[in-house]
Structures are given as structure tokens and as C-alpha cells.
Structure 1
Amino acid sequence: MSVDAGVCRVKLPSGWQASEGTLARPLELSGRGLHTGRRVNVRILPVAPSGERHGIVFRRLRDGRELGMIAADPALRQSQPLCTMLRAADGVGVRTVEHLLGSLLVCEIDHAIVELDAEEVPILDGSAQPWIDAIMACGRTALPQPKRFLRVLKPVSVADGTGATRREMHVEPADEYVLSVYNNDLKDFGDMEWYGRLTPRAFADEIASARSYGQIKWAVPAIVVGYLRGVPILRGARTSCTASIVGKRVVGGLRQPDEFVRHRVLDLVGDLALAGAPLLGRVTARRPTHEMNYRLLATLLGTPGACEWVSADA
């Protein structure tokens, strides 16, 4: 699919800026990776693109030396347990990018360089809230090019499994970015659903604070298996960075009664942000996962005539 914006102009959806943007000044945060457990320092730099489109690009560093660059591109996505990972052709990778990508998308930071001195983006408190707060504190500089969107032109669906464990995702045309997410993967907490129009304000107010979550009884065996297989899984998981479930309760309590499904929305927005722009479409997701989110995006981008790039007309 062509990535040239400006072929078609559409009315600017309510709640979004009319132009693309970058950070007003550099942003710095540090923390530990959820899966590697390693300390990582992140520096996000403003970019004023000229000529070829820049977008969001990760720069891996080690001892001040550049190891490689990885674009936030769905073609570079590599399947990993419980996170979204990007890996360039030279083997350099960056994992657990979804919370940061979702935050940059909804804060309308369309172009930036993300420098990391380790492989994994820090999990911070398990939510997108620290990223949203830090980006807003740095401010946004508007760029001269109009805001672009990926407009859905015809319905696309993906599914996996059968019966009660079936996972389904669907996207169809709409004039705004709309999400309907259903989740019932924790029987002790019942069915949960979130529906709404996605805007920068809606994400900040309703979605950003929802944390990564999991049952401790499953996390401990996963960590052990990960060590045996040489795959980093949940080595940095702590009650300080996840909504940790023990039986029918959450250590420290929930931030919202339906926090689990809101976090599914957060991950979905972050994974679909690999497209490089917000959608103009209605996404319906039943029991979404990172793998299913990617499958939906890949199917949308790979289906002839299913979507097109458009630019906003204020």
C-alpha cells in the first residue's frame, strides 16, 4: 500500500490537531523492562522532518555507541510472548514498545527518535500514564504538514479458536477512530467491555492509567520456563508495575473496576500505532492479544483496497 499522504483530504475528526507534530524538547525517563528486568534509560528527541517521511524511529545504544536503528514499522514486528517487539534486518531489536507507541500516537507526536541503552522500553508503573505525563510536560511543536490518518475503506476480520475461547477482531469504515473491546479472560472478575471514540483526551482520561496485569500463579512458571529457554519473560514483573492477581483479588486494588479491559484497549491502540497514524475506522475486538492485534493490522494493510492514507482538512 502506498504511504504517500495528501492524495485525499478528509474533514478533521473532532479532538485531533490539524497538523503533525514533534516534541518541543527532549524527554528523558528511566526504569526497568517488564520482561528483561534490566535497567534502561530512554531519551526521546524531537525531529523536524524534511523530504522523506521520518515517523517514530528507535535508536539502540550501548556505552554511547549506536547499535542500530529500528523504525516503528509493522513489517519489522517479531512475535514475542506478552509484548510487541520490533527487529531490524541486522538483528537489532527493541521490545515492549506498545505503551510508548500508543502514548506518542495520542499525544500527536508523529515524528521522533527514541534512544534506548538496553533492548526493552521500561514498563514504569505498568500503564501509559507516566509516558502521557512526560510527553505533555515536554510540550508539542506543530509541523507544517497536515495530520494524516489511515482510513478504512472496507471491512476486514481475523479470528482464532472456537467456542468460549474464540478471539475475534474486526475493523470497518467510520469517520472517526472508534473502539469496542470485550474481554472475559479472567473468570473470577466477569465480563468487561469498553466502547468509545478514541481521541487524545479520551485516551488520557479513560485508558492511560490502566496497568498491565496477570495472575501470579501463572507468572512464576512462565518466568522459570523463560529462563530455561533463554527467553526473557516477566523477569521484571513486580506488584509496583503490574496489577498482580492473587486468587480473586488484586494486590493493592484496581484503579478502575474494569481496569483489565481498559488495558486491553491501551495495548490495542499501541499495537495499531505501528501503522504510523490514527485510524479512521471502527475496531471491534473480542478477547484481543498482541498477536491478534498485529494480525488485524497486517490483514488491513495487506488487503488490496481495504485502506488508504488521507490528510486532514481543518
Structure 2
Amino acid sequence: MRAPEGWRATQGTLARELTLTGHGLHTGRRVNVRILPVTDASSAHGIVFRRVESGREVATLRADPALREAQPLCTMLRARDGVQKGEGVRTVEHLLASLLVCGIDHAIVELDAEEVPILDGSAAPWIEAIRACGRTALGHAQRFIQVLKPVTVCDGVGALRRELSIEPCERYELSVRNDLKGFGDMHWYGALTPEVFTREIAPSRSYGHLKWAIPAIAVGYVKRTPILRGARLSCTAAIVGDRVIGGLRMPDEFVRHRVLDLVGDLALAGAPLLARVSAFRPSHEMNWRLLSALLAERDAWTWAECDA
């Protein structure tokens, strides 16, 4: 098959090492990140997260939906067994989306803390940093996950209803709706390409109501689960009433950020999709449920490889 418009026909890695420092949205901890290229095409292994402490490796986690663990307001990977059991990496979604659209199929993401840095709350800094490093094509044709039949997941009723579906399509398309009190019903629809993502989706920031964040932080301390401890006006669009402190980057920024999270969560599959994804009030939990339902139905998808 030919690569869909905008997507590369070969798999790739970084041309050089990427280094970056920031703090976690939920843990609030400072974290240093190194993203290392794969130097040998024969050892290509997808995206792998490696946690280190005091120069010692404590966990290695492949970006794999089987390792996903439910967490408030983020996507987390956690080791299931062996000496690394219980170790994890949280808030991986923005980085995974950025690596996917930049054509970085294989890399090692090394962190000296538990959480991927939130940066300015969007994927734009990741896109900029990855593109500055450049890309090296590997000797493998690009693979896509081609959806063969519709799959739907839903939860809740009435004002709490959420529904996501995926169906066959010759390109990667998304239709995402989200409603938020005071801001109305928002809808983003379009074909997802690297350039569309970079221009229309990546700049959108994490967001939330200030009146919800404060009690959530307190509950997190009581339950010993880090929630929003690193939330700052510099990395979130903070909502007070029906306005955003400092304003919005775009009128429908909130639904665009839902698209960003959805792309990042679906990137756990390890390849771009050939599918149309429709989402009403998506969340990290529902995104994962859709991906899991799809992959569980082996006749609902297949690998499609680009021509050499």
C-alpha cells in the first residue's frame, strides 16, 4: 500500500539524542528526560520507557496497552511482574502522540523520575524538540493498524454518557465532541496528518476548573496518589467560572486537547491508524477501553505495510 497523505513510508528514529527538563503535572517533581535513538535497525523495538534513579535502572516499560494502569487525569504504564513490579511511568500521552506524528517509531525514553514532564501543558514543545533533533529512516516499511470493522464502547447515561467508536477508513480521521459548562458544545473533525496535528492540535493545553483542582489535590494527598501537585498557570488552562485565566489559545482549545489525548492514548497500539475514530466526551479511561476492545477482536483489524 502507499502511505496515506502526510505520513512517511518508512519507520524511523531520532537522528540524535534529545534532552529536556521539566516537572510533572501530577507529582510536581522535577524530571530530566533523555530520548535515545535506536542505532541498529535490527534491534528496533518501538517506544520504550526506562526509569533510572541515581544512575541505576529501576524499570523498563514498553509502550503497550497491556501495561496501562488507570490513573486520574493521565495515562500510566506500570510493570506487572518480576523485580520491576509496581514501578511505572505516568502522563505518557502527550509524548507518545508527538513521537507518532513525527515518525519516531523506535526510541528509548529515559527518565529520572516517575512522570513525563508536562512542559507548557501541550504537545507543541515536544514537537519542536523532536523536529530539532531530526529523524533517521530505518530499513523497515511503515506499518499501520488498518481497522476492518466497527467497534464501539460506551459508558454512563444522560449527562454522564460517553461513547467512542472506530470504523474502517482509508486514512486516519477523527471526529471528537466535548461539552463543558459555560463553553458549550465543541467539535473537531478532520483527517489527522503530522502537519494537521502540529498546527491544529499540538498547541492545545491541559485544562481544568480551579474549583475542582484544589479538592482533587487534597484528596490525592489523603489517598497518597499524586494528582495535580504540579499544576501551574504556566502549564494548564485554568478555568474560573466561564473564563480562562490568561485566555484561550483558540476558541475550541478544550476539544482540541481531547483530540491530543486521544491520539496519544491510541498511540499505545504502536502505529498510526487507518480508521475513523468518533468520540463523544472522551477520557483516558474510555480511550483505552476503545483500543483494548479493538485489539481484542482479532478480525476487526490487521497490519497494513507500506510499499518499499
Q: 1:259 aligns with which of 240, 253, 257?
A: 253
The 2-side partners of 1:50 and 1:130 are apart by: 27
The 1-side partners of 2:87 and 2:13 are apart by: 25
Residue 277 of structure 2 aligns to a residue whose secondary structure is strand
Provide Cα deviations, 1:7-41, integer angstroms capped at 9, x if missing partner. Answer: xxx22101011100000000011100000000000
Displacement after TM superposition at 1:220 (Å): 0.1
Residue type of the alignment partner of 2:272: P
- Runs of 4+ aligned structure 1 residues displaced above 3 Å come to 48-53
Displacement after TM superposition at 1:181 (Å): 0.1
Is 2:34 the counterpart of 1:43? yes
Match of 2:242 in 1: 248
8 Å CA contact 1:30, 1:41 repeated in 2 = yes
The 2-side partners of 1:52 and 1:304 are apart by: 26
Is 2:146 the counterpart of 1:151? yes
* Structure 1 segment 177-192 matched on structure 2, within 5 A: 177-184=172-179, 186-192=180-186
Provide Cα deviations, 1:155-207, integer angstroms capped at 9, x if missing partner. Answer: 000000112321000000000000000000x2100110000000100000100
Give the TM-score, by structure 1 length: 0.95
Residue type of the alignment partner of 2:288: Y
Q: 2:107 aligns with which of 98, 112, 136?
A: 112
The 1-side partners of 2:181 and 2:209 are apart by: 12
Match of 1:97 in 2: 92
Query: Structure 1 unaligned runs (5+)?
Result: 1-9
The 2-side partners of 1:110 and 1:50 are apart by: 11
The 2-side partners of 1:85 and 1:18 are apart by: 30
Displacement after TM superposition at 1:310 (Å): 1.3
Displacement after TM superposition at 1:51 (Å): 4.2
Q: 1:199 aligns with which of 193, 196, 200?
A: 193
8 Å CA contact 1:49, 1:111 repeated in 2 = no
The 1-side partners of 2:163 and 2:218 are apart by: 31
Q: 1:73 aligns with which of 39, 42, 64?
A: 64
Is 2:218 the counterpart of 1:208? no
The 1-side partners of 2:195 and 2:41 are apart by: 29
Match of 2:119 in 1: 124
The 2-side partners of 1:152 and 1:227 are apart by: 42
Displacement after TM superposition at 1:289 (Å): 0.1
- Quote the sequence identity (%): 70
8 Å CA contact 2:12, 2:137 repeated in 1 = yes
Match of 2:4 in 1: 13
Is 2:286 the counterpart of 1:292? yes
The 1-side partners of 2:58 and 2:248 are apart by: 40
8 Å CA contact 1:48, 1:111 repeated in 2 = no
Residue 299 of structure 2 aligns to a residue whose secondary structure is coil
Provide Cα deviations, 1:251-301, integer angstroms capped at 9, x if missing partner. Answer: 110000000000000000000000000000000000000000000000000
Match of 1:23 in 2: 14
Displacement after TM superposition at 1:52 (Å): 5.8
The 2-side partners of 1:258 and 1:51 are apart by: 43
8 Å CA contact 2:20, 2:32 repeated in 1 = yes
The 2-side partners of 1:313 and 1:163 are apart by: 46
Residue type of the alignment partner of 1:121: V
CA-based RMSD: 0.9
Displacement after TM superposition at 1:303 (Å): 1.0
Displacement after TM superposition at 1:91 (Å): 1.9
The 2-side partners of 1:310 and 1:53 are apart by: 18
Q: How many residues are matched?
A: 304
8 Å CA contact 1:48, 1:143 repeated in 2 = no
8 Å CA contact 2:2, 2:9 repeated in 1 = no
Match of 1:32 in 2: 23
Q: 2:52 aligns with which of 44, 61, 80?
A: 61
The 2-side partners of 1:31 and 1:192 are apart by: 31
Residue 189 of structure 2 aligns to a residue whose secondary structure is strand
Residue 233 of structure 1 aligns to a residue whose secondary structure is coil
The 1-side partners of 2:103 and 2:290 are apart by: 23
Match of 2:76 in 1: 85
